[in-house]
Structure 1
Amino acid sequence: MWIISFALRRPISIIAAVISIVCVAFLAVGSMKRDIFPDLKIPAIYVIQGYGGMSPEQMEGYITSTYELYFLYVPGIEHIESRTIQNVSVIKVFFQPDTDMASAMATIVAMANRATSLMPHGTYNPFVLRFDAGSLPVGQLVLSSDTKTVKDLEDLAYTRIRPLLATVPGAEAPPPFGGNIRSIVLSVDADKLKQYNISGAEIIEALASGNKVLPAGNVRTGDYLRIAPVNSDLPDIHQLDYLPIRTGHGPQIFVKDIGKVEDSSDILAGYALFQGRRTVYIPAVKRGDASTVSVVDALTSALPRMQAVLPDDVKISYEFDQSKYVREAITDVFHEGVLGTILPGLMILLFLRDLRSTAIVVTTIPLSLMSSIVGLWLCGQTINIQTLSGLALSIGILVDEATVCIENMHSHLANGVEKTRAVYEACVETMVPRLLAMLSVVAVFIPSFFMVGITRELFIPLSLAVGFAMIASTTLASTLVPIMAIWLLKDEHSGVPDGEGDEAAEAHATAIGRGPKKEHKPDFIDKMKEGLAGLLHLLMPMRFVVIGAYLTVSISLVLLLYNNIGKELFPDSGSSQFRMRISAPTGMRVEALEQRVLKTLDIIKAEAGEANVEKSLGYAGQQPPMFPISSAFLWTSGPHQAVIDVQLKEDAHINMSQFKDNMRKRLAKAIPDTKYSFEPGDIVSQIMNLGSPTPICVQISGHNLVTNKIFAAKVLKEMAKITALRDLQWGQALDYPSCEIDIDRELAGQLGLTPEEVGMSLQPAFFSSRFVNLSLWRDPVSGFSYQVQVQVPQDQIRSKDDIASFPAMKSTRKEQMAPHGIMEDPEIAKLYPGSQTRRPQHPLIGDVATVEYGVTNGEFDRYNMMRMVSLTANYSGGDLGRVGEEVKAAIKRAGVPPHGVFADVTGQVPLLKDTFAHLLGGLVLAVCVIALMLLGYFQAARIVLVVMSTTPAILLGVLTILTLTGTTLNIQSFMGAIMATGVGIANAILLVVFAEKTREEGKTASESAIHAAQMRMRPILMTSIAMVAGMVPMALSNGQSSSLGRAVIGGLCMSTTSVLTLLPLVFSIIQTGARTGTHSLHPEDHGH
């Protein structure tokens, strides 16, 4: 009680402390990061490797598996996942929750560098980065121009915009999407190669020796030290035209004789489309621990500078701003909190009918919230939907502390006690019940600190917000409230109805032995008390039957409703933005895929209405091999796959679920050979999906890929019977078209060729020399360097015959230098006098190899080094929990997996199971913590049972209102259930403390219970109705926290009813015949 005395003796110190809290709170709000969710701290590292042209089998065997073997040396690994397609391998290394990620990153980098020493020549060091669910694009920087080509836009984005983006605080700067990196291309004519009998390998070797970067060095001449550059690297790309391919005897052959040099770009990999037109864009990616709002604000501030470095005919715009969803979520919770403050104030005014008392109570709400913000800031937390939900959740309960004090002050004042004395005694008398109530609410959140993984990161911010607010409220009720009461309340009884004041005074007078006050005219509250007493007198004789029926019915209904209610991780975000993944027939060229994407966009406009489609942005094809890191931000499995983001107008009010079902029907009819899958499009849904493209995924893993496929096909057949599943399809391209070149090594050896020479000859025809020979050119204007590569135009290699007729070797003999067709070309024949009578043999690819079309795997996925295939799906018309169980049942119907084959449900389903297991365990642990706390205070297990008897009613109220409103049980509603449990137990404590005190004064347990119910009815109703009023705006909103508010309302309504009607009966049953003496073992307490 010292804190109350200290506050009353040093009121100015308390006021100064309050002012300090307010000032620090404003500073904290300005400096705290704002985001939709807290940092989820997913312990994962991505290793991304590119190698242009390398097939999926090669990437898996020579790249992916080598990395995985070396990563096993890294301590703390939980599991390793990998996805491998042509040109790219993405390896995800997940760690145990307690792993030091800085040390893990260093070890991963060291192991990756060591692994590359065992990889094929030309393997670059990989990209290694921390990446989690929060590392997502917060918008797209789109470059558009009516005059520039995509190649020009790509170079501008890469060399001018990207450096500026990298300097934005909290942002990452991935490579541009939509173009290919600028390159100097030696485009060789396949017919000229055959004519001159030149292989691709000769040109590559000529480029390597004729354009070589060598250090300049210095020459000392007199007093000067001159820089002495040698033009071994050609300063002008057109000088490459005169680069000799053949030297020595006979006529020289130059690059210009067999092709041309172009300032072009690398081989086409994909197109970006903005509003249906080709473009280039850079995803503005935020770090996982950065604030979405802060990054976007800094980015928009940097836009004028970015525009200034671009030519006048190029415009840059910021599209698909994801911060608006974050701002809306934060704003919604803030507005709900403000309304939640006003409505409880009105409820208190209705009960107390005293503006001054109401002002005192309401004042403590923002001060408690500000104190909580200061505490969150000191703990390094951010302003996000979880911390704001915690603050909004605590508003209703914050009024309890001050309300109990004020109500008791009025009781003392009505009894004629001097104001200062009345304030002090009222605060002292309520100190212990208030402290117990606060501890009960705080205790329900203690288990969150023992959770692990995502659940822990989501719950701790909310728990801290509620805990700090409750502690601040209790402190203010014992410090600021008595000071304000002495300054503001009147000495005489004022503002409280006579009936209520006299009744309150009578209660206090009876408690202190002064006898009842004068008779008064009963009012509405008195009539309610009389009715409650009559009801309890009626039920008391049959209390055993009533309580037995209550426990049986409530527990049975809780179990029934819990097993049948829909379960989700998070409620639907209600976003008007969506993402669609388009999968054309496997291996389709990106040019053909682009036409299907444009047709899909037309169908979207037709379904939604063209005026309702605000914008669209898509990428068709796979990421360029020079930019494999782009696959971490947008994964496509080949040139046949595209991803489009579509933003519908907010005022269109389109039912997204119905819209998607209609789109599936129209697309299946219009483009039947193309598969579609809807994915979360806005940042809120993407983070809530924790990186999973679809909520349902079944992984079939084992060391034998063929066996995996066979069993997966059986599972697919059974899953197709689940009516709620949508977009069910294979997760990998298992039938990728191929062109197999089978070298006859014996025949090649007879002709003096090795498999390496044959393969190197084909490099310019199939891909380019980029990865097998590093040749650079420096742009003297910009100062940037670009690669020089040899390649055959893609439109010249279109059939097996084109491949078979491609030169297979470089010639070393003079007669082999004579080109084909010498007898037909007299002018060239003059260069080879005496050779017209002989026709040397010049091996082609068809002479040493067979060329056949085939089918291969387009993607290899692995889990802990076991190959796997996956089945992905969305769902509609059901909930995640129920659909997940149906998927598990489908796997069982498929039969027992073959030996060494494992079938696992992944995506959101296991996360839902783990999260709910932690939440249920946390709820049980919270009840145990409260029970132990009460046991320590009351020194009697019986009273603990009385207080905890309201728990079934609270849970029943939560599940009932969720069922009636069609709300799923999710993380948000579970938070509401936990909060309702704490508040309901706190109300039970208020009644039980009063009842036990009355029983110890000599009354029977039944009389004490009824009397306590009457005397505590007003404060319990007042605080409960105030909290329900505070939750109404949240419950009626369409935001993420609506389910939280509904759960609190349902739990509070049922708990209030049970506390006032059933708890007295339980008290009477358990406490009848209970001892009233002390439980102390100390001899002085027994009179010895």
Structure 2
Amino acid sequence: MRLVLAALTRPLAVIVALIAITAGFVLSLGQMRTDIFPEVGNPVIYVAQPYGGMTPAQMEGFLTYYYEYHFLYITGIQSVDSKSIQGAALMKLTFREGTNMQQAMGETVGYVNRARAFMPPGTVPPFITRFDPGSVAVGLLLFTSSTHSQGELQNIALNQVRPLFATLPGVSAPPPFGGNQRTIVVSLDPDKLKQYHISPEQAISAVSSGTVVAPSGNLYDGSLNRIVRTNATLGPELNDLMNTPVHPGSGTSVYLRDIGAVENGTDIVTAYAHVDGRRTVYIPVTKRSDASTLAVISAVKAAIPVFKKVIPGDVDVQLAFDQSGYVSHAINGLVREALLGAFLTGLVVLLFLRDWRGALIVVANIPFALAAAVLLLWATGQTINIMTLGGLALAVGVLVDEATVEIENIHTQLLPGVSHAKAVLEACKRTVIARLLSMLCVLAVFVPSFFMKGVGRQLFVPLSLAVGFAMIASYLLSSTLVPVFGTWMMKESHRREELEGAFGRLRLRYEKFLEAVLKRRWPVILTYFGVSVIVLLVVTPRLGTEIFPDANGPVLRMRLKAPIGTRIEETEPMVLHALDLIRKTIGKENVEVTSDYVGVQPSSYPVNLIHLFTSGPEEALVQVQLRSGHPDDERLREDLRAAFQKELPALKLSFEAGDIVSQVMSFGSPTPVQIDVQGVNLDQNYAYLAKIEAELRKLSFLRDVSVVQPQKYPTVEVNIDRQYAGQFGLTMADVTNSMIAATGSSRFTSPNYWRDPQTGNAFQIQVQLPPSRAQGLPALSSLPLMRDGLSQPQLDQVASLQYGIMPEMIERLSGQRVVSLTANLHGVTLGEAQKKIQAALRNVAAPPKGSTVTVRGQVPAMEETISGLRVGLLLAIATIFLLLMANFQSLRLPLAILSMVPGVLCGVVLMLLITRTTLNIQSFMGAIMAVGISVANSILLVTFAEQARQTEGAETAAHTGAVGRLRAILMTATAMICGMIPMAIGFGEGGAQSAPLGRAVIGGLLFSTFATLAVLPAIYGLLQRRASVTSNSLNPQDPASRYYVQP
């Protein structure tokens, strides 16, 4: 009451406070980051290790193993997941929530350096970067030209644009995709090698000795200190290198120019990128997890004119696959829903009070409370996202509760002959405790969110803070703004008109209904609880469960796989054919733009594996930006699957998360379902996975079932006979070094460099046989080998060559090998699928000793989230019970108030069933919020009934309290329901994510309002019929205490 008295005493101070809130809101809003989600997922560090040419088994044994061994020493490590493919290994280090990531990064770097001491010569330092689940691509920076080659575009993007791009705030700037690193390539002619009896190893040695990077020092010449320069390092004339003799010394020499040629080209091509079917180069616009999507995209758009100034005029750079539009539409949609909800809320208040002044005061309370909440969210480091905005939109309906109760009581007190100020003060006295308790109960339902773990906590806490701050601000405003403006603006009550009008007739009918209920309280109470239990038991199992509502976004993303081992030159036309088929199936008019990446990342850019992982040349990732009005849906996916099966049966198709919402909420998993078989014996794992696959293919709702790590990648097995090789004077090193140029390049084994005098940039020099000349087993078999010029055997003279197979990728989790099966879902929710998959797994024989089976994908995150929310709901109810018991000093009254919870939950599950909505984070939040609001309404009724019970019996008091609070309860519940209708409908992009929250609140309030008005009086009358009217106070100075001693 002191706050109310202070506001009435110093009304201008209230005006100053409102001005301060408005100013703070404007300033804080300009500084808050805007994104689709708050930061979610556990912190992650990636380590990307290249070693060109090494097989997956070599990468696993000689590099990955030593990293994994040392990473287990890092503080806070939760898991180490590694993928080893040819030429690269990618390790994902996941840390526990709350880990000091600066310390973790420092330890990671230290243990990387230690692990490298055990690795083969030529191992370069890996890329180490922080890349959390929120770090997703929000656009593509495209480079196109009709005159420049892919290699030239790659060089322009890498060395001219990327240095500027990387300095933009919030941007993670990987190397470009689609081209390859500029390289000085010495191409050897295999026929000339045979003619001159020279092995590739000798040519590599000649190149290494023909251009040397070495310091040359200074020469003191008189008074000058001259820098000495030599041409030992290759200069601008590349052909100078070709004058290097292969056999230095006297006599006839063979020069490099006799056995090959040099060109300013690129490393061996391993991938192509396309946009709308044309080859291109692009840099993904990847935001850091702590950056704003809208800010990043705005910065990139503003920088594009700067980029164009530093590149040739015939090269165009543009932004495509811009995800900021989806984010802004989702944010704007929530803002519109909140504004429309506020309007509907004000309209309801006006209809109930029939007083535009009172309605105006109630509605004015909303923007100031929301502004104060935004200010407090900024002060606590929160961002503007769909969770905080959802909380504010959810709070709109709740905010009117405080002001509406106050205004309704002022109306009751504004009788003829009573001064405005006295009526306002008396109304505040009668409601201040009930309003405070109602606010605390609503806040109490959100307290458990701070004790949750994982995704539930990361998403629920921002929403809880938004609602909590808005509620606290609303309570303070209802105790300051409402009394002041109520005194200034409101007129005498139209009490008689209300009694004679529609509401008067409604109240009379309610009084008769309530009398009948109180006479038959036992049947009413038993029916209420019986129906509640039956509905919850029958309906709840029929509701599907998932982590987050389906985004149904505008981006379609799919992974295509040609037959394993298919060359990139063969995969590319198949993917281009697939793009034509996609446009034909979807309709060209519905496709905005397409992009794809065919092949595997070059060994020079292992960090790109973090952004886009492919395991071999037969693999491609395709993205399709759909035009507005044609979102990705299940029917579209089924049409594409059928089209591929008919026209491109050789291509395996699998859909993945495409839009930003789906990517973030998938937590790095490509598909909803992933089943791992983990164990040391890889063959045993594959055999058991095949049994699981056979069982899962019987489930009709699974789609795109595929093995992540194919086992039968084609190989050539070169078995060197050490004895024969020794007879030719060859060692194993001589043979393998000669093979390097034929099967790869000298890039990693004999690194050498050339400096471009025009730009000052350095590029590698590598020796190789042209891929076009080194095709087929006969070409490799006839590869010449030489040792000190004494002999020239061919490879097939010292080794046997035959075809074989091996795993294309070796994945390890916590040090053990893993083989995985992934699948998408059709027509079922994740929760339903999980139950049926577990049943199918039980039909498979027990795994062999040493192997374990784990269901991964999105299932563990869903189970953790739903379990946390269930516990949170129970904790919320327990918290409210304790709070009510402390306030009322009674066990019976909290039980009476909480008896409305079953009605709330019944309304929630029935509404979700009717609207075909799943149980997910949003609907659980709505259910918890509905519990808080229902309790708040029940407190109003019970508080007034308790006041009446001081002079009346329990049943009469229940009747008096219910009738007296009828208008307030109906008005607040109707205002809340109307305020939630726009959110529940889910207009526009992003509306589907917040719709379950609104639907749950509406369903819970519809049923709980009826139960509060119809059942709660009966329960109250039953529980309180023999309760004492004296207080439980032990204070002898308290007049309400039975121990009161009169002074």
TM-score w.r.t. the length of structure 1 is 0.94
Instruction: State the partner residue of 1:430.
Output: 431
Match of 1:587, SS state, is coil
State the AA in 1 paired with 2:315.
V
Q: Secondary structure at the match of 1:289?
A: coil
1:567 aligns with 2:545: yes
Distance 1:375 1:900 in 2: 54
CA RMSD of aligned residues (A): 1.2
Query: What is the match of residue 823 of structure 1?
Result: none
For residues 86-133 of structure 1, the C-alpha deviation after alignment (integer angstroms, 9 at most, x for no partner) is 111111111121321111111011001110111111111111111111
Partner residue in 1 for 2:1026: 1073
| Letter matched to residue 614 of structure 1 | E
Which residue of the partner structure matches residue 1053 of structure 1? 1006
1:749 maps to what in 2? 726
Residue 665 of structure 2: aligned partner: 688
Q: Please tell me whether the aligned partners of residues 412 and 495 of structure 2 are also in contact (alpha carbons under 8 angstroms).
A: no
Could you tell me which residue of structure 2 aligns to residue 1026 of structure 1? 975
The answer as to whether partners of 1:568 and 1:968 remain within 8 angstroms in 2 is: yes
User: Distance in 2 between the 1:487 and 1:927 partners?
Assistant: 40
User: Equivalences for 1:567-646 in 2 at 5 Å?
Assistant: 567-646=545-624
Deviation at residue 654 of structure 1 after TM alignment: 5.7
Q: CA deviation at 1:431?
A: 0.5
Deviations 1:300-347 (A, max 9, x none): 000000111111111001000011111011010000001011000000
Secondary structure at the residue paired with 1:407? helix
Q: What is the aligned partner in structure 2 of residue 528 from structure 1?
A: 506
Secondary structure of 2:216's partner? Answer: coil
Alignment of 1:58-457 (within 5 A): 58-236=58-236, 237-414=238-415, 416-457=417-458
CA distance in structure 2 between the partners assigned to 1:896 and 1:1007 by the alignment = 66
| Structure 1 residue corresponding to 2:536, chosen from 546, 552, 558 | 558
Kindly indicate whether the alpha-carbon contact (under 8 Å) linking 2:730 and 2:787 is maintained by their aligned counterparts in 1. Answer: no
Match of 1:949 in 2: 899
Partner of 2:765: 788
Deviation, structure 1 residue 438: 0.6
Q: Is the 8 A contact 2:42 2:96 kept in 1?
A: no
For 1:469-510, what per-residue CA distance to the aligned partner results, in whole angstroms no more than 9, with x for missing partners? 0000000000111111112123x33xx36243xx6xxxxxxx
- Of 1002, 1010, 1015, the residue aligned with 2:964 is 1015
Query: Which sits farther off after the overlay, 1032-1041 or 313-322?
Result: 1032-1041
- The Cα offsets for residues 194-219 of structure 1, whole Å up to 9 and x where unpaired, read as 11111111122222222111113111
- Offset of residue 536 of structure 1: 2.2
Name the structure 2 match of 1:706: 683
- The offset of 1:542, in angstroms, is 2.6
| 4+ aligned runs moved over 3 Å, structure 1 | none
2:1015 partner amino acid: L
Q: What one-letter code is carried by the residue in structure 2 that aligns with 1:238?
A: N
Following TM superposition, by how much is the alpha carbon of 1:811 offset from its aligned partner in structure 2, in angstroms? 3.2
- Paired with 1:125 and 1:119, the residues of 2 have a C-alpha distance of 11
Separation in structure 1 between the aligned mates of residue 617 and residue 354 of structure 2, nearest angstrom = 72
Does residue 860 of structure 2 align to residue 910 of structure 1?
yes
2:821 aligned partner: 871
Answer with 128-137 or 532-541: which moved more. 532-541
Q: What is the rounded CA distance, in whole Å, between the counterparts of 2:538 and 2:438 in structure 1?
A: 30
Contact 1:197 1:810 in 2 (8 A): no
2 CA distance for matches of 1:452 and 1:415?
57
SS in 2 for 1:883: helix
Which residue of 2 is the match for residue 826 of structure 1? Answer: none
Q: Provide the residue aligned with 2:474 in structure 1.
A: 473
Specify the code of the residue in structure 2 equivalent to 1:147: T
Give CA deviations for 1:654-699 in whole Å, capped at 9, x if unaligned: 6621111011111012121221001121112111212211011101
Distance 1:1035 1:1008 in 2: 37
Q: Is 1:664–2:641 an aligned residue pair?
A: yes
Worse-matched range after superposition: 416-425 or 474-483 = 416-425
**Residue number in structure 2 paired with 1:775:** 752
Aligned to 1:824: none
Amino acid in the other structure paired with 2:690: A
1:759–1:655 CA distance, 2 compared to 1 (3 A)? closer
- CA apart distance, 1:428: 2.0
Contact 2:553 2:631 in 1 (8 A): no
8 A Cα contact 2:1035 2:1044, kept in partner? no
2:916 matched residue in structure 1: 966
CA distance in structure 1 between the aligned counterparts of 2:279 and 2:751, rounded to whole angstroms: 30
1:111 alignment partner, SS class: helix
Which residue does 1:936 correspond to in 2? Answer: 886
Q: In 2, distance between residues paired with 1:488 and 1:499?
A: 20
Task: Give the letter for the 2:962 counterpart.
Answer: A
Aligned residues of 2:174 and 2:608 also touching (Cα < 8 A): yes
Contact 2:552 2:632 in 1 (8 A): no
Separation in 2, partners of 1:936, 1:275: 67
Please tell me whether the aligned partners of residues 576 and 656 of structure 1 are also in contact (alpha carbons under 8 angstroms).
no
Separation of aligned partners in 2, 1:600 and 1:174: 27
| Structure 2 Cα separation of the partners of residues 922 and 37 of structure 1 | 21
Change (3 A) 1:654 1:7: closer
Q: Distance in 1 between matches of 2:589 and 2:414?
A: 67
Deviations 1:272-312 (A, max 9, x none): 01100111000011101100000000110000001111111
SS in 1 for 2:241: helix
Aligned equivalent of 1:881? 831
Q: Residue 558 of structure 1 contacts residue 959 of structure 1 at CA under 8 Å; is this kept in 2?
A: yes
The one-letter code matched in structure 2 to 1:619 is Y
Per the alignment, do residues 454 and 1017 of structure 1 end up closer, same or farther by CA in structure 2, a change over 3 Å counting?
same
Shift of residue 192, structure 1, vs aligned partner: 0.9
1:1076-1087 equivalences under 5 Å are 1076-1085=1029-1038, 1086-1087=1043-1044
Cα distance in 1 between the residues matched to 2:725 and 2:598: 40
1030-1039 vs 461-470, greater mean Cα deviation: 1030-1039
The CA distance in 2 between the partners of 1:865 and 1:984, in whole Å, is 51
**Percent identity of paired positions between Structure 1 and Structure 2:** 45
For 1:175 and 1:885, the matched residues in 2 are separated by: 43
C-alpha contact 1:740 1:851 (8 A) present in aligned 2: yes
Question: Aligned equivalents of 1:5 and 1:550: distance in 2?
Answer: 43
In 1, distance between residues paired with 2:355 and 2:914?
37
Partners of 2:399 and 2:483 in 1: CA distance: 16
Structure 1 distance, partners of 2:1028, 2:496, is 38
Structure 1 residue 453 displacement after superposition: 1.7
Report the count of equivalent residues. 1036
- SS of alignment partner, residue 351 of structure 1: helix
Contact 2:193 2:199 in 1 (8 A): yes
Amino acid at match of 2:1044: G
**In 2: Cα distance, 1:455 partner to 1:240 partner:** 63
- Alpha-carbon distance, 1:717 to partner: 0.7
Query: 2:842 is matched with which residue?
Result: 892
My pick for the range that moved more, 245-254 or 383-392, is 245-254
Q: What's the offset of the Cα at 1:634?
A: 0.5
Equivalent residues of 1:198, 1:810 under 8 A apart: no
Q: Within 1, Cα distance between the matches of 2:707 and 2:136?
A: 25
Find the counterpart in structure 2 of residue 830 from structure 1. none
Any conservation in 2 of the 1:984–1:1052 contact (CA below 8 Å)? Answer: yes
- Residue range with higher mean Cα deviation, 411-420 or 592-601: 411-420
SS of 2:414's equivalent in the other structure is: helix
For 1:696, give the aligned amino acid.
V
The DSSP-based 3-state class of the residue aligned with 2:965 is helix
In the alignment, structure 1 residue 798 sits paired with structure 2 residue 775: yes
The alpha carbon displacement at 1:874 in A equals 0.4
User: In structure 2, what is the Cα distance between the partners aligned to 1:895 and 1:288?
Assistant: 43
Residue type of the alignment partner of 1:347: V
